[in-house]
Amino acid sequence: MRPLLSVEHLTMRFGGLVAVDDVSFDAPARKITAIIGPNGAGKTTLFNCLTGFYAPSAGRMMLRHPARGEFLLERMEAYAIPAKAGVARTFQNIRLFPGMSLLENLLVAQHNVLMRASGYTVGALLGIGRYVHAEREAVARARYWLERVGLAARADQNAGNLPYGDQRRLEIVRAMCADPALLCLDEPAAGLNPRESAELNELLAFIRDEHKVTLLLIEHDMSVVMGISDRIVVLDYGRKISEGTPEEVRNDAAVIRAYLGEDDEEAPGRP
């Protein structure tokens, strides 16, 4: 099976700083690929390139949408990547719409579908078209996801009033409401307690298995990474230093060096 996402020779320079240096990897369809690495390794920069917030200095990012064909992400504008190529993301520091209700947050995620149904506002304003029906479907989809993460009871409250863990979950299901083929999660387990992390694992596995979505995941929490990842890509100083299954990566000497530092006596003598 061809990978959903192929990143080839991706490079991102900020002046003299090379944040992402010639990184290539594939994200297999309907699998969870984790991107790990020490702080400052270029993980979030990679995400920002993928989702159009940065224009990469070089490289190619090919997304093969199962229904809509192939997209070269580096050529698309930020808003078009989720709308057309079906790439949704969450943020390291949660970005909800805090002054709007949970339900409204999830409806904004379905903006483009609803916009088309509302005849770009004109139709719905004049009361023609099938907007009412489309909105009902959108609300049903939102209800489905809110119930999945146990937030349906608070649907009409402001998102900003949710506790931290719930905000994380809401951001993930908001991204899911955008109907993505590829879901990019930037440290979804940051700040969660062990029980919440376990719930998160379950949710991510559910998204992969039941909704056939490919996941790309930046994470520091190894219980999440090792627990659910199908593949792991390791970055250090912008370069890819390892790639493979969790088992392979766990035993890779280069990875251990990157995380634990070099052992002065042993390292030079190693074959």
The least CB distance from residue 58 to other proteins, in Å, is 23
Interface ranges with other proteins (CB under 8 A)? 51-53, 78-84, 88-89, 91, 95-101, 103-105, 107-112, 114-115, 118, 120-121, 124-125, 131, 135-136, 139-140, 142-143, 146, 152, 155-156, 174-175, 178
Tell me the Cα Rg of the chain: 20
Phi first, then psi: what are they for 73, rounded to 5°?
-65, -30
The least CB distance from residue 151 to other proteins, in Å, is 10
Q: Between residues 94 and 235, which has the closer beta carbon with respect to other proteins? A: 94
Q: Please give the sequence-ordered ranges of beta strands (E in DSSP) within the chain, or none if there are none.
A: 5-14, 17-27, 32-36, 58-65, 69-72, 87-89, 182-186, 214-218, 231-236, 239-244
Q: Between residues 158 and 223, which has the closer beta carbon with respect to other proteins? A: 158
Task: For residue 153, give the DSSP letter.
Answer: G
Written as one letter, the residue type at 227 is G
What are the residues whose beta carbons fall under 8 Å from the beta carbon of 1, sequence distance 6 or more? Answer: 28, 29
The least CB distance from residue 54 to other proteins, in Å, is 12
Query: Per residue in 98-122, is it b (16+ CB within 10 Å) or e — as a string?
Result: eeebbbbbbbebbeebbeebbeeee
Length in residues, the chain: 271
* In contact, 152 and 146? CB cutoff 8 Å: yes
The least CB distance from residue 136 to other proteins, in Å, is 7
Q: Between residues 122 and 254, which has the closer beta carbon with respect to other proteins? A: 122
Q: Between residues 64 and 84, which has the closer beta carbon with respect to other proteins? A: 84
Q: Between residues 135 and 199, which has the closer beta carbon with respect to other proteins? A: 135
The least CB distance from residue 264 to other proteins, in Å, is 44
Task: For residue 5, give the DSSP letter.
Answer: E
The least CB distance from residue 95 to other proteins, in Å, is 4
The least CB distance from residue 67 to other proteins, in Å, is 16
Q: Between residues 26 and 171, which has the closer beta carbon with respect to other proteins? A: 171
**CB-count burial class (<10 Å; 0-12, 13-18, 19+) for 142:** buried
Q: Between residues 180 and 238, which has the closer beta carbon with respect to other proteins? A: 180
Greatest alpha-carbon span in the chain: 78
